[in-house]
């Protein structure tokens, strides 16, 4: 049974699907007015891990994440840069998608954009107006919060006074707690036609409209950063319940925020650590692992040296994998407790993930599994072969969530087209070492290094390892 912490109930609950065997996931995506930072990578990586786990557990997953490609900030920023809103949004959506690919995110089935869903959004608002949940004032349309009886149930802000912003509202709303569904366009702003005149949608309505359009009338898992709980998700609940007369989602899943030092990483604070910049110094896989090394709900205080630590840790995993990937299934399993442990690994790993997607614990399990395996492999024989194969199998299984193994065929000496030449050179160096011609041996080592190969002299002979592309020192 898969359990997940539901922000609505503040408890772990078993996952339930509306349609047998199918889970629908809607994650609130980014507003592409600036370069994505590591805080945006977290929900993407977390939901990627969640999705992969659910799929392994046999669910068919339908996963949608939106782009808010028109909003106040986008308009403001595009004016500053002398670009159109569309150009600015496209630029950052493109780089975002590239970052996601580098983080080995399995793409959502759709990345719907607000500007592609205007008709549905307008219809949605019109329905809320018709049903008496919303009202128009001078070309703006507002949602009447007092018409939503359960308002505040997600965030715990129930009293009307608690929902009032500290900032004074300068709009014509009937009540300060009411929020905009449609904003009249001011001169120079991008606009769309509507029954209330030209304008653009408010921030919250897009998710209700797009989610219903793409997922049907029910979302099994609805996600985003914990900073979206109020007002965004609270308002989304109000809109959808008013429109459909039923809850928007069974379970709300919110990831903790990435902070820089002690303060939240935020575009408006300008303290975001750009993913593009980070990728110049670190393998994206290191960042992915780092983001999965803590539980998804914990706050994460970003420090770059954490990446150095996980790079080191990851090299142990990848190094072991390089050494076991040659093992094929053995013809029989020796009777040994180590074999039993290795056979149990997958079931234990999966059950750790079942418990609220505890990637931190699952990752710990990988390191635990790795311990003591290498001496058995090095000892060889039937046991060594079986252990080697099962280790390979287990790392491959963990990799389905973590994606920490080299993609594609790992570059090893044997898989290189020039392997004959490389092996020949290695043999020459071994000969030189045997003859104590160390200057000659070291010169050969330097040649390998210059071509991107590190020679590691193991008890079983020399081994080639690729020199890291991202060799950052912090």
Partner RNA sequence: GGCGACGUAGCCAAGAGGUAAGGCAGGGGUCUGCAAAACCCCUAUUCCCCGGUUCGAAUCCGGGCGUCGCCUCCA
Query: Which of the residues 416 through 445 are near RNA (CB under 7 A)?
Result: 433, 438, 441-442, 445
CB of 401 vs RNA, minimal distance in Å? 15
Q: For residue 277, state whether it binds RNA (rule: CB under 7 A).
A: no
How many whole angstroms separate alpha carbon 111 and alpha carbon 64?
6
> What is the β-pairing status of strands 300-302 and 258-260?
parallel
CB atoms within 10 A of CB 295: 17
Q: For residue 163, state whether it binds RNA (rule: CB under 7 A).
A: yes
Of positions 127, 189, 227, 336, contacts RNA by CB under 7 A: 227
Which one, 245 or 318, has the nearer CB to RNA? 318
CB of 110 vs RNA, minimal distance in Å? 17
For residue 144, report the phi and psi dihedrals to the nearest 5 degrees: -85, 105
CB of 183 vs RNA, minimal distance in Å? 11
Q: For residue 456, state whether it binds RNA (rule: CB under 7 A).
A: yes
Of positions 97, 126, 160, 229, contacts RNA by CB under 7 A: 229
Of the candidates 69, 70, 57, 74, the residue with the CA atom closest to the CA atom of residue 21: 57
Residues 91-130 that bind RNA (CB under 7 A): none
CB of 331 vs RNA, minimal distance in Å? 26
Which one, 22 or 379, has the nearer CB to RNA? 379
CB of 179 vs RNA, minimal distance in Å? 7
CB of 444 vs RNA, minimal distance in Å? 9
Q: For residue 224, state whether it binds RNA (rule: CB under 7 A).
A: yes
CB of 21 vs RNA, minimal distance in Å? 27
CB 29 within 8 A of CB 65: yes
Of positions 97, 126, 244, 301, contacts RNA by CB under 7 A: 301
Residue holding tokens 């339908």?
62
**Coil, strand or helix: which one is 193?**
coil
For residue 411, report the phi and psi dihedrals to the nearest 5 degrees: -75, 105
Residues 164-193 that bind RNA (CB under 7 A): 164-167
353 Cα distance to chain centroid: 15
Q: Which long-range contacts (CB under 8 A, 24 or more apart) does 262-271 make?
A: 262/301, 264/39, 264/227, 265/37, 265/38, 265/39, 265/302, 266/39, 267/33, 267/34, 267/37, 267/73
Q: For residue 75, state whether it binds RNA (rule: CB under 7 A).
A: no
Q: For residue 230, state whether it binds RNA (rule: CB under 7 A).
A: yes
Q: For residue 455, state whether it binds RNA (rule: CB under 7 A).
A: yes
CB 388 within 8 A of CB 327: yes
Q: Would you give the binding string for RNA spanning residues 369-408, x where CB under 7 A is met?
A: -xxxxxx---------------------------------
CB 102 within 8 A of CB 284: yes
CB 140 within 8 A of CB 129: no
CB of 107 vs RNA, minimal distance in Å? 16
Which one, 257 or 333, has the nearer CB to RNA? 257
CB 52 within 8 A of CB 106: yes
Q: For residue 344, state whether it binds RNA (rule: CB under 7 A).
A: no
**Coil, strand or helix: which one is 139?**
coil
Query: Per CB under 7 A, which region of 50-58, 126-134, 328-336, 364-372 contacts RNA?
Result: 364-372
Which one, 40 or 144, has the nearer CB to RNA? 40
Query: Per CB under 7 A, which region of 14-22, 49-57, 301-309, 324-332 contacts RNA?
Result: 301-309
Residues 14-73 that bind RNA (CB under 7 A): 28-31, 39-40, 42-43, 68, 71-73
Which one, 131 or 316, has the nearer CB to RNA? 316
By residue count, the chain amounts to 474
Q: How many residues interact with RNA (rule CB under 7 A)?
A: 90
How many whole angstroms separate alpha carbon 376 and alpha carbon 385?
9
Report which secondary-structure segment, H or E, holds 352: helix 337-354
Which one, 214 or 257, has the nearer CB to RNA? 257
Q: Cβ contacts of residue 223 below 8 Å, gap of 6+?
A: 25, 26, 27, 28, 43, 47, 252, 253, 254, 255
CB of 165 vs RNA, minimal distance in Å? 2
Q: For residue 263, state whether it binds RNA (rule: CB under 7 A).
A: yes
Residues 239-258 that bind RNA (CB under 7 A): 255-258
Find the angle CA(455)-CA(460)-CA(463) to the nearest 5 degrees.
20
Which one, 331 or 473, has the nearer CB to RNA? 473
Q: For residue 461, state whether it binds RNA (rule: CB under 7 A).
A: no
Q: For residue 262, state whether it binds RNA (rule: CB under 7 A).
A: yes
Which one, 10 or 246, has the nearer CB to RNA? 10
Report which secondary-structure segment, H or E, holds 255: strand 249-255
CB atoms within 10 A of CB 72: 14
CA atoms within 13 A on the CB side of 194: 29
CB of 415 vs RNA, minimal distance in Å? 19
CB of 86 vs RNA, minimal distance in Å? 18
CB of 328 vs RNA, minimal distance in Å? 22
Instruction: Compute the Cα dihedral for 119, 125, 127, 130 and give only its sign.
Output: negative
């Amino acid at each position: 049974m898969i359990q997940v912490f539901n922000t609505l109930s503040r408890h772990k609950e078993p996952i339930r699907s509306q349609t047998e065997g199918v889970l629908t996931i809607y994650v609130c995506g980014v507003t592409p007015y600036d370069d994505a930072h590591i805080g945006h990578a977290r929900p993407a990586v977390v939901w990627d891990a969640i999705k992969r786990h659910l799929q392994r557990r046999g669910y068919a997953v339908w996963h949608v994440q939106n782009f808010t490609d028109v909003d106040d900030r986008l308009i403001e920023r595009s004016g500053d840069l002398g670009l159109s809103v569309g150009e600015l949004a496209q630029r950052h959506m493109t780089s975002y998608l590239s970052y996601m690919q580098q983080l080995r995110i399995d793409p959502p089935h759709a990345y719907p954009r607000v500007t592609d869903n205007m008709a549905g959004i307008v219809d949605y608002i019109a329905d809320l107006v018709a049903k008496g949940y919303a009202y128009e004032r001078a070309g703006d349309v507002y949602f009447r919060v007092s018409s939503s009886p359960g308002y505040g149930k997600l965030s715990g802000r129930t009293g009307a006074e608690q929902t009032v912003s500290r900032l004074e509202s300068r709009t014509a709303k009937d009540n300060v707690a009411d929020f905009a569904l449609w904003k009249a366009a001011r001169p120079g702003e991008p606009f769309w036609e509507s029954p209330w005149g030209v304008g653009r949608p408010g921030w919250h309505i897009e998710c209700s409209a797009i989610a219903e359009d793409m997922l049907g009338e029910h979302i099994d898992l609805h996600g985003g950063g914990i900073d979206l709980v109020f007002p965004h998700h609270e308002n989304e609940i109000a809109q959808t319940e008013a429109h459909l007369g039923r809850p928007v989602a069974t379970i709300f899943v919110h990831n903790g925020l990435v902070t820089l030092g002690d303060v939240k990483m935020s575009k408006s604070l300008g303290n975001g650590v750009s993913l593009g910049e980070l990728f110049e110094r670190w393998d994206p896989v290191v960042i992915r692992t780092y983001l999965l090394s803590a539980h998804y709900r914990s706050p994460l205080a970003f420090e770059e040296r954490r990446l150095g630590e996980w790079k080191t840790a990851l090299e142990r995993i990848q190094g072991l994998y390089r050494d076991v990937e040659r093992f094929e299934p053995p013809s029989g399993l020796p009777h040994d407790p180590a074999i039993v442990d290795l056979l149990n690994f997958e079931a234990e790993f999966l059950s750790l993930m079942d418990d609220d997607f505890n990637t931190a614990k699952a990752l710990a399990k990988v390191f635990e599994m790795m311990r003591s395996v290498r001496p058995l492999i090095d000892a060889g024989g039937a046991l060594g072969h079986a252990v080697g194969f099962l280790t390979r199998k287990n790392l491959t299984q963990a990799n389905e969530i973590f994606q920490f193994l080299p993609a594609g065929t790992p570059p090893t000496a044997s898989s290189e087209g020039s392997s004959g030449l490389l092996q020949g050179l290695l043999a020459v160096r071994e000969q030189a070492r045997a003859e104590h011609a160390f200057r000659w041996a070291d010169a050969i080592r330097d040649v390998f290094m210059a071509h991107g190969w590190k020679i590691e002299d193991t008890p079983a002979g020399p081994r080639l390892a690729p020199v890291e592309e991202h060799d950052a020192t912090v």
